[in-house]
Amino acid sequence: MTQASLAQAADPRKPWTDPAAQPFVRIEAVTKKFLDFTAVDAVSLDIYRSELFCLLGGSGSGKSTLLRMLAGFETPTSGRIIIDGQDMTDVPPYERPINMMFQSYALFPHMSVEQNVAYGLKQDGVPKADIARRVAEMLDLVKMGSFARRKPHQLSGGQRQRVALARSLVKRPKLLLLDEPLGALDKKLREETQFELMKIQQALGITFIVVTHDQEEAMTLSSRMGVMNHGHIVQVGEPHDLYEFPGSRFVAEFIGSVNLFEGTLVEDEPDHVRIESPDAGCTLYVNHGISSAPAQQVEVAIRPEKIRLSRQHPGQTDNVSAGVIDEIAYMGNLSIFQIRLNSGKMIRVTRPNLDRYDEMPLQPKEPVFCSWGPASGVVLSA
């Protein structure tokens, strides 16, 4: 939890926990309007050196626009962008110590792989011999050394993506912006590449800002992530924090799946709250307090994997609700249960498939008890 991590001594790998740390990229109240449409709305964000920061959000939420302002292709309507202590707001893209990997790769179609990667170094007047060496090194790093002479149209999607990555890394930028870097890859290649990307980022120590609309990818890659919606940054935090402690219904639903119960606050103590929820068919007990007036309408979010299923009543008075299994979907590593609670509400529960063979597996139409612990729920006030 955020308060908890603040209380700890500042972790050098987590500079954002240290109030004295200087951010490397500082986005100050940046707004971008296209005519009268606001694509990015008063976004403020601090990103620290060597972070791998993921910007997550639905289509049209303003991720690419924010990235394009960092790269210098769009000028903010208002606000400032400061990178490594320098105000970059009005610096043209070719003078920024930043490189970008584009959503569509944007390789130069008339140049070979080698020439594509060398292009940026040539612009800086790097000596020929150095260019050749650095290009070769970089192509080896992305495992494209044997394709140096090919043209982009002779490469597969995954290979193009590697060339684009090499081209954006070869100038050793202070900051690398990646717009949906793995968008074109199939699931398996995508997962492999995610880990490679993380390895490369750690090896080179470059600060990465990665845009994605794939929440799993963001969770895997990032040191911290920011969730965007309608041009706003809704929440920023470590993947674990965002998953376990979403601050709003939007974040809870956007990252992973979640069961939401409406209810009325009946007990509001510093160390716990009780919520009467006809929706859930029981009293919800959450063991961390919230700061709000009593009798307020709230929502409680509970992740599907935190709910236990049992044939017998688990013996607790709160956080238990009876229902009937509606459907079971076998996913290999886990099974997803759709359960109709006696209140009429449908909820989703996941269970890992620990054993290959279950003596008495739960069956559809079977009545079950759903229960969860006091630390499993999150109270959302919005």
Answer yes or no whether residue 61 interacts with ligand ATP by CB under 6 A. yes
CB of 58: closest distance to other proteins in angstroms? 17
Answer yes or no whether residue 72 interacts with ligand ATP by CB under 6 A. no
Contacts of 59 (CB under 8 A, 6+ apart): 213
Residue among 168 and 371 whose Cβ is closer to other proteins:
168
If we measure between CA atoms, which residue out of 235, 258, 231, 192 comes closest to residue 54? 235
Lookup: tokens for 373? 């612990």
Longest dimension (CA), the chain: 76
342 binds, among ligand ATP, other proteins, Mg ion, none (CB under 5 to 8 A by kind): none
Place of tokens 């790998």: 13
Stretch that binds ligand ATP, among 59-67, 185-193, 218-226, 254-262 (CB under 6 A): 59-67
Lookup: tokens for 285? 């007990």
Answer yes or no whether residue 246 interacts with ligand ATP by CB under 6 A. no
The span from the CA of 15 to the CA of 372, in Å, is 34
Strand-strand pairing, 52-57 and 224-229: parallel
Q: Which residues bind other proteins (CB under 8 A)?
A: 71-73, 92-95, 98-100, 102-110, 119-120, 123-124, 152-153, 156-157, 160, 167-168, 171, 183-184
Residue among 183 and 373 whose Cβ is closer to Mg ion:
183
212 binds, among Mg ion, ligand ATP, other proteins, none (CB under 5 to 8 A by kind): none
CB of 166: closest distance to ligand ATP in angstroms? 23
Q: Which residue is nearest to ligand ATP (CB)?
A: 64
Lookup: tokens for 66? 């924010």
Instruction: Give strand pairing partners of 215.
Output: none
61 binds, among ligand ATP, other proteins, Mg ion, none (CB under 5 to 8 A by kind): ligand ATP
Residue among 46 and 74 whose Cβ is closer to other proteins:
74
Which position among 23, 62, 72, 181 is part of the footprint of ligand ATP (CB under 6 A)?
62
Residue among 64 and 376 whose Cβ is closer to Mg ion:
64
CB of 155: closest distance to ligand ATP in angstroms? 23
Helices 157-169, 113-123: axis angle to 10 degrees equals 20
Which position among 213, 224, 303, 345 is part of the footprint of ligand ATP (CB under 6 A)?
213
Helices 128-141, 157-169: axis angle to 10 degrees equals 130
The span from the CA of 166 to the CA of 101, in Å, is 9
The span from the CA of 194 to the CA of 188, in Å, is 10
Q: How many residues bind ligand ATP (CB under 6 A)?
A: 12
Residue among 21 and 184 whose Cβ is closer to other proteins:
184
Query: 3-state DSSP call for residue 130?
Result: helix
Q: Which residues bind Mg ion (CB under 5 A)?
A: 64
CB of 254: closest distance to ligand ATP in angstroms? 13
Residue among 34 and 108 whose Cβ is closer to ligand ATP:
34
Contact between 117 and 138 under an 8 Å Cβ cutoff? The reply is: yes
Residue among 65 and 321 whose Cβ is closer to ligand ATP:
65
Burial class (CB in 10 A: 0-12, 13-18, 19+), 184: middle
Q: Which residue is nearest to Mg ion (CB)?
A: 64
If we measure between CA atoms, which residue out of 100, 114, 89, 83 comes closest to residue 31? 89
34 binds, among ligand ATP, other proteins, Mg ion, none (CB under 5 to 8 A by kind): ligand ATP
Half-sphere exposure of 376 (CA within 13 A, CB side): 20
CB of 153: closest distance to other proteins in angstroms? 5
If we measure between CA atoms, which residue out of 200, 197, 203 comes closest to residue 212? 197
What is the DSSP secondary structure assignment for residue 315, as one 8-state letter?
A: S
Helix, strand and coil percent figures for the chain, each rounded to 5: 25, 35, 40
CB of 172: closest distance to ligand ATP in angstroms? 26
From residue 18 to residue 57, the character string flagging contacts with ligand ATP as x (rule: CB under 6 A) and all else as - is ----------------x--x-x-----------------x
Residue among 91 and 334 whose Cβ is closer to other proteins:
91
Q: Given the rule CB under 6 A, which residues bind ligand ATP?
A: 34, 37, 39, 57, 59-65, 213
